Amino acid sequence: MTAPPAATTGHFISLEGIDGSGKSTQAQRLADTLRAEGHDVVLTREPGGAPGAEAIRELLVTGDGARWSAVAELLLFNAARRDHLENTIWPALAAGRVVVCDRFADSTRVYQGVARAPLGDLVERLHRLVIGTDPDLTVIIDTDPETALARGRARGGTEDRFERFGLPFQQALRDGFATLARDNPDRCRIVDGNRAPDAVAADVAALAAAALGPGNAA
Ligand code: ADP
Ligand code: TYD
């Protein structure tokens, strides 16, 4: 599918937040909860979520921080996102499924648009030109940057290119997500991520239930 579906009965929910805030944990838990309620759920993530996009992910999240200029990095994220939309998200929405996505375009707005370089105008223009899709609901997991960074480091692995930009960068990201939520009150909701996973999951599930509306359990 190379163009967005004209009309869909599907629902698109994204989870956002700084590195280590708990998005992946909550995306998995939300998908499990919705499936238990009978929804047909596609759990996916960015960067990645389709074979081509996963190959681009590897280029983006490993290696030296200075590996890409801010603009080159922005173009790679858009290439990955377009591939993800064409091969995973648009077909799922067209089929009436619920898409739960661990990060989406708001990560670009905040990481590339504000925190890494002030590229907000270019970010929005590219989004309109080649992406054109935003979630119905975006849940921002708001976690203290020191807590989140410690969680991320404890997790280990090699996908730490952005975590290695350090604590001030994570603080700028947190502020960026707060501004984004203020500017998009129709679809963005903030959840306190400094609590136990069960408490966070209960809030995320309640927001998703409200977004899916009554009568949407399959
Ligand atoms: P993200 O996807 O935002 O980077 P993860 O969900 O991968 O975050 O969580 C990062 C680490 O913190 C993982 O090891 C995870 O098990 C742990 N974690 C996630 N949520 C919580 C929480 N609410 N409290 C404590 N640890 C958590
Ligand atoms: P992710 O695997 O979600 O990282 P984490 O689990 O640490 O939160 O995403 C990889 C990195 O890519 C993360 O540091 C955020 C960054 N990123 C951007 O800078 N822009 C984007 O558009 C996306 C989707 C991710």
Tens digit of pLDDT for each residue in 107-122? Answer: 999 999 987 778 999 9
- Expressed as residue numbers, the domain containing 61 is 11-212
Neighbour tally for 122: CB within 10 Å: 16
Residue 184 to residue 188: CA distance in whole angstroms = 6
For the entire predicted model, the pTM comes to 0.95
> Which ligand does the CA of 193 lie closest to?
1
Ligand 2, atom 19, lies closest to the CA of 111
Domain-located, residue 218: no
Average pLDDT over residues 151-162: 77
Total number of domains in the chain: 1
Residue 18 to residue 110: CA distance in whole angstroms = 10
Domain-located, residue 136: yes
Ligand 1, atom 7, lies closest to the CA of 24
Tell me what pLDDT residue 142 has: 98
Which tokens in the block code for residue 104?
A: 């989406």
Cα 201 to Cα 18, 22, 135, 204, distances in angstroms? 17, 10, 19, 5
Residue 5 to residue 12: CA distance in whole angstroms = 13
pLDDT band of residue 55 (cuts 50, 70, 90) is very high
Mutation choice for ligand 2 from 16, 18, 19, 23, CB with most ligand atoms inside 8 A: 19
Average pLDDT over residues 87-111: 97
Phi, psi of 120 (to 5 degrees): -55, -40
Domain-located, residue 6: no
Domain-located, residue 5: no
Domain-located, residue 97: yes
pLDDT tens digit string along 129-153?
999 999 999 999 999 999 998 888 8
Domain-located, residue 71: yes
Q: What is the CATH number of the domain that holds 89?
A: 3.40.50.300
Domain-located, residue 106: yes
Single-letter amino acid, residue 130: V
Domain-located, residue 201: yes
Residue 17 to residue 63: CA distance in whole angstroms = 22
Instruction: Please tell me whether the peptide bond between 47 and the residue prior to it is cis, using omega within 30 degrees of 0.
Output: yes
pLDDT tens digit string along 6-50?
877 899 999 999 999 999 999 999 999 999 999 999 999 999 999
